Amino acid sequence: MLGIVGIIPDENFPLVYGTPTLVENFLIVDRWQIPVERGTAALIASAIKTLEFLKKPSPLVFLVGDIGTGKGSKVLYRFLAENLSQYSFKTLTFHYILPEIDGCLKVILAIEKFSKKPFLIADAGFMYAVKMAGYANFFDLFTPDIGELAFLADEKAPHPFYTRGFLLSNENDVESLIERAYKHQNAPPYLLVKGEKDRIVFKKKVLLTIEEPLVPELEAIGGTGDTLTGLVSALIYAGYPTEKAGAIAAKANRLAGALACPTPATQISTIINFIPQALQRLID
């Protein structure tokens, strides 16, 4: 099973878990209808599109409403700490949540109870929490953008907001940031670094760089990083080796973007609808 953990930007949305369906631009989970905008909903929608294409079952998702106060995140941390070990996952992806070291450590303890450890992916707030907790090595894959890579590379930074000196790093700095992130043990074995060029990294070595098609407008569109994490999660769950999954995901995300002929005002749901077409071109 692929598990996905994250938040929904609605403070009235309770803790909900189940297998979602994607109907037009809405996720349906339990009796809840969630618009596919940026964030975890976009990650889940791209994972569902990918899994449908690969004829694999939809993910099991664990969601809670949180608008940044952390109230929902606390409920989710607690639920995961107490219940996660009842499930069995092949791949488990953690996404938006208020970064909180204590909550994160309790979830890690719950994961340690699995008889077989899933392939663990972290992005966004949970990735920040894992790094701050000093457990990057417990995970298998992080999917940072360049700003977040700078945060992983800065052993003192508690959040990308404070990353010293190199927050506005450009493409030329990426390899030194990768080196530094591994030096301070703040990166898991695999990284998928999102940017103008996407890089698949294994133990500080850049295995692959994907830079085509280049669609500059995608940088402005909220959710393109989320869809990439959804794609790679689904491909890894479907059995693709990490390096290949990363390569297909990065190419498909770019291609779906290009097929949408976007402007900086295009919304992520438009791009998600092109994911099957993009995968069709990349996978026999």
Partner 1 sequence: MMNWLTKFFLPKKEKTQENAQRALLIFENTSEVIQAEKVLQKEGYKVKVVGPPPEVRKGCDLAIEVPVVEIPGILNLLKTKKIEPLDFISFSEDEILKPVDLFNVKDFGEYLMVRAANMKITVDKKTLTIVNVSGGGCPDVPYLASVLVGKNLKDIFSLKDKGHTLCGYALHLAFKKTKELLCSE
Residues of this chain that bind partner 1 (CB under 8 A): 7-10, 37-41, 66-70, 72-73, 96-102, 123-125, 127-129, 132, 145, 147-148, 151, 156-164, 167-168, 216-217, 219-225, 263-267
DSSP structure string for 193-260: EBSSSEEEEETTEEEEEE--S--GGGGGSTTHHHHHHHHHHHHHHTT--HHHHHHHHHHHHHHHHHHT
Whose Cβ is closer to partner 1: residue 179's or residue 196's? 196
Contact by Cβ (8 Å): 127, 148: yes
Minimum CB separation from partner 1 for residue 228, in Å? 12
Edge to edge, what strands does the sheet with 26-29 contain?
Answer: 21-23, 26-29, 32-35
Whose Cβ is closer to partner 1: residue 158's or residue 276's? 158
Which of 278, 281, 276 lies closest to 45 in space, CA to CA? Answer: 276
Whose Cβ is closer to partner 1: residue 181's or residue 279's? 181
Minimum CB separation from partner 1 for residue 24, in Å? 18
Whose Cβ is closer to partner 1: residue 15's or residue 67's? 67
Whose Cβ is closer to partner 1: residue 11's or residue 241's? 11
Whose Cβ is closer to partner 1: residue 146's or residue 238's? 146
Contact by Cβ (8 Å): 46, 272: yes
Whose Cβ is closer to partner 1: residue 247's or residue 260's? 260
Edge to edge, what strands does the sheet with 2-8 contain?
Answer: 16-18, 60-65, 2-8, 91-94, 119-122, 141-142, 190-193, 198-202, 205-210
Minimum CB separation from partner 1 for residue 11, in Å? 8
Contacts of 226 (CB under 8 A, 6+ apart): 38, 39, 40, 42, 43, 46, 95, 123, 124, 268
Minimum CB separation from partner 1 for residue 261, in Å? 14
Minimum CB separation from partner 1 for residue 266, in Å? 8
Q: How far is CA 170 from CA 19, 94, 179, in A?
A: 39, 26, 15
Give the three-class secondary structure for 145.
Answer: strand
Minimum CB separation from partner 1 for residue 262, in Å? 10
Minimum CB separation from partner 1 for residue 187, in Å? 16
